[in-house]
Amino acid sequence: MLSPSYRINRMQKTLLWFEQDIPLLNMRVKDLSAERQKSAKRFAAALVRQTRAELERLLREHPECRADARKVLKSEQIGPA
């Protein structure tokens, strides 16, 4: 079984990766119809929200790991398209 700090670290990296990928997503979907662009952006926003919620859950369950995660949780969220 993976340690809580390892799981939290991986979740932080995943969240940052998703958030940093948003500008690239916008470039990837620019040639799609407006409806499909919205769909892709909503999906990406849902992934970010779900990942953030999972990270927050892990931090509630393991408060000893909270100090390292504060900066990630304060990072800018993306909104729905």
> Per residue in 3-34, pLDDT tens?
888 899 999 999 999 999 999 999 999 999 99
Rounded Cα distance, 46 and 43, in Å: 5
Rounded Cα distance, 77 and 44, in Å: 11
pTM: 0.74
> Per residue in 41-58, pLDDT tens?
999 999 999 999 999 999
* Confidence grade of residue 76 (pLDDT, cut at 50, 70, 90): very low
How much is the pLDDT for 67?
A: 60
What is the overall mean pLDDT for the chain?
85
Residue whose entry in the numeric block shows the structure tokens 């662009």:
37
Contact (CB, 8 A) for 81 and 45? yes
Could you count the other beta carbons within 10 Å of the beta carbon of residue 38?
14
